[in-house]
Structure 1
Amino acid sequence: MTDHERAIIERLRVKPGEHVRLKDRDPRDSSLFGAEQETKTATDAIARDIDVLQDRLYAEGSRALLVVLQGTDTSGKDGTIRTVFNATGPLGVSVTAFGVPTTQELAHDYLWRVHAACPRRGTIGIFNRSHYEDVLIAKVRKLAPKEAVEQRYDQINAFERMLTENGTTILKFMLHISNGEQKERLQERLDDPKKHWKFNPGDLEDRAFWNEYQEAYETMLHRCSTQHAPWYVIPADRKWVRNAAIASIVKATLEEMNPQYPKVSWNPDDFTIA
C-alpha cells in the first residue's frame, strides 16, 4: 500500500463507533488529489491494475470482494462502476442494482435477496444500492416499523461478519454529494433529452426528505461501520475525485488480499503444441 493510498483510507474511512456529521465533511473536497486531468489519467491506470488483480482473484477462486455503493439519487453509482471497473474482465465481475422489492422478495426476510446476489468465490460483486436501503428509505418513508428498523443494524453487522468469515472482503462506499449538486444533476436530466430516461419524478419526493436522509445516513455510518466491513464517506460532488478515491481503495484492498495464481500439478515443459 502506498503512502497516498494509506492517506486516502485514513481520511475517508469511518472508524467503528464514530459519530459522523455529514455537514462537516466537504463533498467537494479534492485535497487528497492533484490536478483533475492528472488524476483522471492516474485513475485509468488504477482501473487497469484492478483488472490484473481481479484476474488473479478469479484464478485463485477461493475468496471474493463485495463493493457496496450507496448514495442519494444522482450521487454517481453508475458512473463509479463505469469508470473504476471499465477495464475489468466481465467474467469476474457481477453488478446487482437493488430496486423496489418484488412480491417474491417481500415474502422473505429483507436480506434474502441480498444474500443471493453476493459474489461467488473468485469474483468482485458490486451492489448499486444494497441492503442498507432497509435502514434508509425504510426508515425515512416509514416502510417498516421503527422497532424492526432498529433491529436491522445489528442484523446487518452479523450478516456481513458471516460473509467476511467465509472469505468475502467487504468495502462500503457512501457517495456524499451536496444538496446543491443534486439539484444541478437533476436539472441536467430535465434539460437534456438524452437523459430524460434517467429522471424519475419520485426523486423529487425523496429530495423533499433531504435532512431526514442525511440523519439516516449518519446513523447507518455510526452503527454499521465495523472493523470487518468498513464504511468510507466519499466526496462525490466532483466525479473525478469520487472515482479516484474509490479506485485507490479498491486497488489497495485487492493488493492487501494478495490473490495468487494457483500452482499446477503438471510441468509445462512436458507438453508440446503441435
Structure 2
Amino acid sequence: MALHQSLLDLSELAPHCQSRATARGLLAEAQDILRNAVAHQDNEIELAHWYSRLVTDIVRAPGVNAPVRLTGAAARGDQLPSMPVEWIGQDADLQGVFADVGLQAHEATDSIATRVDAGLPLGSGGEHALLEEALSQRPPALRMVDGLPDRDAAVDIKATLLSPIAAVARWAAPGPRPTVDRLAIGVERGLLSASDAESLDLAWRTGYALELRRWYERVSDHAATLRDLPPLDRTAYGSACRIVSATFESITRRAEEYK
C-alpha cells in the first residue's frame, strides 16, 4: 500500500530543515499525520520505515546538524513514536528537541547491539556475542491459570516481543537494516530456518500493530495487563508470545548443536 501524500510531503521537508525550532514543528506534525495513517490502517512496518527516515533526515538536516550517530530503532528503520530515539555521541540540546514534542530521546548505552545498529564494525567474536545476547532476552512464558493465560499478567510488548525478536534478527544479519529484512537475510545465511524466520516475522508484525495502536490510543506508556487489552488484541498478544517462546526454544537447540 502506497503511503499517503501527506506523509511523502512531510518527508521531503525533513532533509532541508533550517533550524531546531523547525525540527520541533516537523516532529510534532509527523505525530499528527502518523495518527491519521494509523486511523486509516496503513501498514505498520511501512509507517515505521517512513518515521525512521524522517527522524534520521531531521537529525542530519543543516538546521540541526547533530554531531551524533543514530542507533537503535531509528538506525534500523524500525522507529515508532513510543520508542526512544537513541544515538552515539553527545549533543546537549538534541534531547530537548524531541522532549519538547513529547518524544523520548537520549544517548545510547554502549553495547555491541548499539554499535551494530549504528553500522559500526562487528569485530572478532561479534556474532557469537550477538547470539548470546539474543538468547539472554528470551521472554518468560505467559503465566497460565486453569489452562488459560492469566488476565492479570503484565503486558510488555517491547520486552516480550519486539526486543527479543530484534535481538535475534541482529545476530542473524548484523548491520543497520529493518528487522524484517534481517530475518529474511538470516535465512539466506543459513542462521535461521525459514520456519523460524516466518514465525518471528509474524510475531514482529503483530507486536508492531499492537504497539502502534496503543500509541495511537495514548496509552503506550501506561502499565497494562492482559485484562486491559481488547479481546482481539489479547488473543493476538498471547499468540505472538507463544510463537516467540517456541521459536527461541528452536534457536537455542540449534545453537547448542553448533557448539
State which structure, 1 or 2, has the greater radius of gyration over its C-alpha atoms.
1
- Which of 1 and 2 has higher RCO (CA within 8 Å, sep 6+)? 1
Structure having the larger proportion of residues in strand? 1
Q: TM-score, normalised by structure 2?
A: 0.29
Q: TM-score, normalised by structure 1?
A: 0.27
Structure having the larger proportion of residues in helix? 2
